[in-house]
Amino acid sequence: APTAGGAVWMRTDSVGQTQLLVEVTNVPPPAQLGASWYTALFAFDGSSFEVPLVEAPGTGVWAATTVQSLPAQFFAAGSANIYPGPVLGGLVANCR
């Protein structure tokens, strides 16, 4: 989506788990793309995981949070894409 924007916030907690917060805005309703919601797909080194986003009612802002145990490769060479679409995407290294 040409006007889409978003952010990924990452924090490593005291036990080494990575807390992730994903937010996207200015995206079309997912129904226009044949889906019921947006999903963040994180991929790295042949592995991936998905996080479903939830819309803050009436705002057009979609967000999700998760806690993951992630290797160094995730931070160096991982990617994040928002589906369906992808309507937005980028490299995890650029999210820092």
What is the residue extent of each domain of the chain? 5-95
Distances (CA, A) of 8 to 5, 32, 34, 77, 82: 11, 24, 24, 15, 11
**DSSP bridge pairs for 44:** 47
Give per-residue pLDDT as tens, 12-69.
Answer: 999 999 999 999 999 999 999 999 999 999 999 999 999 999 999 999 999 999 999 9
pTM for this structure?
A: 0.92
> Looking at the domain that runs over 5-95, which CATH code has it been given?
2.60.40
**DSSP secondary structure of 51-79:** EE-EEETTTTEEEEEEEE---HHHHHH-E
Rounded average pLDDT over 58-83: 96
Q: Give the model's pLDDT for residue 2.
A: 84
Q: Which two tokens stand for residue 45?
A: 């080194």
